[in-house]
A and B are shown apart, each in its own frame.
Chain A
Amino acid sequence: MDRKQERAFEEFIGESGDALLRLATLLTADRGLGEDVYQETLHRLAARWSRVDNPRAFCRRVMHNIVIDQGRLKRRQVPEIRLAEGHDDSDPRSADPTSAVELRPVLFSALRTLTPHQREIVVLRYFDDRSENEVAELLGVAPGTVRSTLSRAVAQLREHPSLDGLFSHTATDAMTRRVRYA
């Protein structure tokens, strides 16, 4: 990587870094592990920067490899839910930090009841907005498998006590009003 490529790398991370960190955090359902996966992904991206033509797709693949490689994540114990998650109040970009801090332990405890494979499919589909075909291609499975895994996983999440009540009209309306799309 020369200086110009380094700047392009920095620009890409400037644009996509937040989304990649959030993706890694959801894939692991753990903030600390998510940060580790994010850092490792940047290392691998930097190593291949001059040969990667779609960095977002490359990062998605790297994260898939890291997260599905169980031995790697098991090296670190998954900590209990962090009830008192630190938040930097001084960051003006955190428009509505309270809801994220409150919501995260709830959603993550539900996500942790899924297998890493199920969780990845749910996160890629609903957070990263990938089509079922794209998810199928990335994971090397049939689109039908993605569809059936999704419906089972969502059904399982609906039954989870901490998400109880969120999957109703009232809750959805309330959520819709609160959510701000960046």
Chain B
Amino acid sequence: MRDIDDDVMSQLMIQSTADLFAGPAATAEALRRHRQRRLRTRVLGVTGVAAAAGLAVGTLAIPSGAASSAGTTHIAQLTAAQQTLYGLSAAAASFDRPAGRYVVMTEKSIDIANGSGNDDEVGPKTDVIDTLTGGGVTYQDIKVTGANGDPQPPAVLQAAKGTSPTTRQLDAMPTSPAGLRGFLLAQAKQQLTQAYAWEAQQAKKAGKKIPAKLPTGPTPTDNDLVFEQAAGLLWEPNLSPALRAALYKVLADTPGVQVKTGARDSSGRAAVEISRTDQVAKAKVETFENPKTGATLESAWVEPSGELLEDLYLSITYTNQIPANPYRG
């Protein structure tokens, strides 16, 4: 009798879901979001935990009409948060970019999966960015922690040309706050269009019926897009002082940006924490800056589920030769 019950249970479950098929939209959405997150987290290092000791000095609340009048016109009415960002801007402007074709950046990534047992700590790793071609190499000294016995990732990853922005591309960006804001917005919208086109192409390739209109959900606001692009650029180690200075001014003119002084990054370094919660994905992007130099110390991404991904930037140096793998031998 027991065996018959088992069979009935199996058959009921198989048969009651036999008409459910996974469409291509879920796959495409997962890949699209992963691509966006990867690009952003590489640059944005944030950790909410480390910032808990920080002192909140205010949220930017600028009437939307004023958002485009960036720069000098309303310096007289700066809020404390804006003053902090202008301070970072001035600090960044005063630091020269070192000479050398290759930027060598050591970093550490941490993925805290909100108690699900999938926590990973990856690193340290060393990124070598070729500022002429945008290509490079990443050396990893990887220890994966976690309950599920993940395999070891490759120790050396080659990055194709164009993976990172070149010095020439970075230096072609506008350095006036209003001009840079417009540029970042246009760039973000172009990337969104490309992502949707890709999604449609994949669905078509899979031979699935394509809905007349792809499900897009709520659309990110212009301020969402500007913050994402700006924060995604801040972690780039090879920005010119003028571009880095302009980015902080763009952030100072973006409503919803939160600024905490007296914060610390996850390795305990003194930092200014800049964060904003995306109005659509509800993900919080945080970036921690060195208050004295305007350099980015850490980027973090907090999912609505509480999952936390952080990248900690440990050192940045410039050389004219690709360094050997520091973790080998």
Contact = CB atoms under 8 A, between A and B. Distances in A.
Interface string B125-147: 00000000000000000001000
A136 interface: no
Interface in B157-209: 202, 206, 209
Given A51-B153, A58-B148, A172 B8 contact: yes
Given A46-B30, A65-B116, A175 B150 contact: no
Contacts of A179: 11, 14-15
Contact of A87 (B8, B16, B19, B202): B19
Nearest to B35: A1
A122 B7 contact: no
A87 B206 CA distance: 21
Interface in A10-61: 10, 13-14, 17-18, 20-22, 25-26, 31, 34-35, 38-40, 42-53, 57-58, 61
B131 to A, nearest CB: 22
B118 interface: yes
A103 interface: yes
Contact of A94 (B18, B27, B150): B18
Interface in A97-117: 97, 99-101, 103-104, 106-108
B305 interface: yes
A154 B33 contact: no
A38 B153 contact: no
B120 interface: yes
Interface in A140-176: 154, 157-158, 163, 166-167, 169, 171-172, 175-176
A127 B10 contact: yes
Contact of B148 (A42, A57, A127): A57
B31 A9 contact: yes
Could you say which interface size class chain B belongs to?
35 or more
B34 A1 contact: yes
A108 B19 contact: no
A39 B19 contact: no
Interface in B14-67: 14-22, 26-27, 29-31, 33-35, 37-38
Contacts, number: 159
B304 to A, nearest CB: 10
Nearest to A40: B305
B117 interface: yes
A106 B16 CA distance: 9
B21 A18 contact: yes
Given A21-B21, A53-B150, A57-B148, A175 B26 contact: no
Nearest to A45: B30
Contacts of A10: 27, 31, 202, 206
Nearest to B202: A10
Given A53-B150, A127-B10, A167-B8, A182 B15 contact: no
Given A25-B17, A26-B13, A104-B16, A166 B8 contact: yes
Most chain A CB within a 10 A radius of its CB, from B22, B26, B34, B150: B22
A80 interface: no
Contact of B31 (A46, A103, A171): A46
A100 B17 contact: yes
Given A1-B38, A48-B150, A166-B8, 14 more contacts: A13-B22, A17-B21, A18-B21, A51-B144, A51-B153, A65-B116, A72-B305, A91-B21, A93-B21, A96-B15, A97-B19, A100-B18, A104-B17, A163-B12
The 7 closest A-B pairs by CB, nearest first: A17-B22, A42-B30, A22-B17, A46-B34, A127-B13, A65-B116, A100-B19
